[in-house]
Amino acid sequence: MFPLRRIAAALFVTLAIAPVAQAWGPLGHSVVAELAQRHLSPAAKAEVEHLLALDHTQSLADIASWPDEIRNDPKQQDLWKQTRAKHYIDFDGDCTYTPPRDCKDGQCVVEGIEHYTEILSDRSQPDEARLQALKFVVHFIGDIHQPLHANYQQDAGGNKYQVQFQGQGMNLHRVWDSGLLSTRNLDWKAYANMLDGEGFAPLPPAIAPLDNPPAQWAEESCQITRNIYPANHKIDQAYIDAELPVADSRLREAGRRLAEVLNIALQNG
Ligand SMILES: [Zn+2]
């Protein structure tokens, strides 16, 4: 069975109710990765640590931004070009996932997550390939929960929408990648501690006809983008008070879902 179908089925069973750009900056990606790592099953934890050891680290937070970092690595330009469109999805017209309209040639974050989850869960693949796949899965599940990585406004995920933030001009995408989160003045570990202290994230109900978890996560992000464009192009305190809790919820949901994907992909060695 195709791994994500298996994941979809497992999520429906266990939850019953069911249920362009860069990305979250390093802070957001590390928070998501850390939240997930704290909720791995023993089998998944052991396998994650086995793969991370190839990179001489034990922390998913350390590798969570690597798919963005290869953009500036001359040796990784081929990989960057193959993967750059998999960090986001541009819905063409509305927030209903409609392939191939919204994901031509598999070039979107929904298919990116599926592709790399499949490699990660395939124990016949070399460890190096599975470690690389792990990095992409960790990163893309973060990205897909950043609302502006999945919007329908045809403005490069808010990169073309200029705002004023803390006395500076900046685009809305960057506000959501890092500006909003930075207003808490916490490092990633302290941020993860704060969010983890709120318990396991409640998840939005499953969109049953989709039966495709990453597509649902993208649709949720797209729906959120309907309400996050400040009419006066100003990110003021009222905007931060309203939207920072939304960003925090997306980090918590991403962390929980990443843990669930890894627990299923890496069960029973
Ligand atoms: Zn990214």
Q: Which residues are catalytic?
A: 24, 29, 68, 71, 87, 139, 143, 149, 173, 177
**d(CA 13, ligand 1 centre) in Å:** 30
**d(CA 152, ligand 1 centre) in Å:** 18
> What is the DSSP code string of the chain?
--HHHHHHHHHHHHHTT------S-HHHHHHHHHHHHTT--HHHHHHHHHHHGGGT---HHHHTTHHHHGGG-GGGHHHHHHHGGGG-EE-SSSSS--TTTTSGGG-SHHHHHHHHHHHHH-TTS-HHHHHHHHHHHHHHHHHHHSGGGEESSSSTTTTT-EEEETTEEEEHHHIIIIIHHHTT---HHHHHHHHHTT-SPP-PPP-TTT--HHHHHHHHHHHHHTT-S-TTSEE-HHHHHHHHHHHHHHHHHHHHHHHHHHHHHT---
**How many domains does the chain contain in total?**
1
**d(CA 22, ligand 1 centre) in Å:** 5
| pLDDT score for 268 | 76
**d(CA 204, ligand 1 centre) in Å:** 23
| pLDDT score for 103 | 96
CA distance 32 to 183: 17
Residue 80 CB-density burial (10 A; 0-12 exposed, 13-18 middle, 19+ buried): middle
| pLDDT score for 4 | 59
Asked if residues 115 and 218 have their Cβ atoms less than 8 Å apart, the reply is no
Strands 89-90 vs 150-151: parallel, antiparallel or unpaired: parallel
**d(CA 221, ligand 1 centre) in Å:** 15
**d(CA 51, ligand 1 centre) in Å:** 21
Q: Which residues surround ligand 1, an ion (CB under 5 A)?
A: 23, 68, 87, 143
Output the domain CATH number for residue 140. Answer: 1.10.575.10
Nearest one of 96, 111, 214, 95 to 152, comparing CA atoms = 95
Q: What is the pTM of this model?
A: 0.91
Q: Give me the helix-helix angle, 127-145 and 109-121, nearest 10°.
A: 150
Asked if residues 251 and 35 have their Cβ atoms less than 8 Å apart, the reply is yes
What are the distances in angstroms from CA 31 to CA 51, 111, 129? Answer: 20, 23, 24
**d(CA 178, ligand 1 centre) in Å:** 12
For residue 187, the enclosing domain spans 3-265
Asked if residues 62 and 53 have their Cβ atoms less than 8 Å apart, the reply is no
The pLDDT profile of the chain, 269 residues, written as one tens digit per residue, is 345 555 555 554 443 333 234 457 899 999 999 999 999 999 999 999 999 999 999 999 999 999 999 999 999 999 999 999 999 999 998 999 999 999 999 999 999 999 999 999 999 999 999 999 999 999 999 999 999 999 998 899 999 999 999 999 999 999 999 999 999 999 999 999 999 999 888 899 888 777 899 999 999 999 999 999 998 999 999 999 999 999 999 999 999 999 999 999 999 76
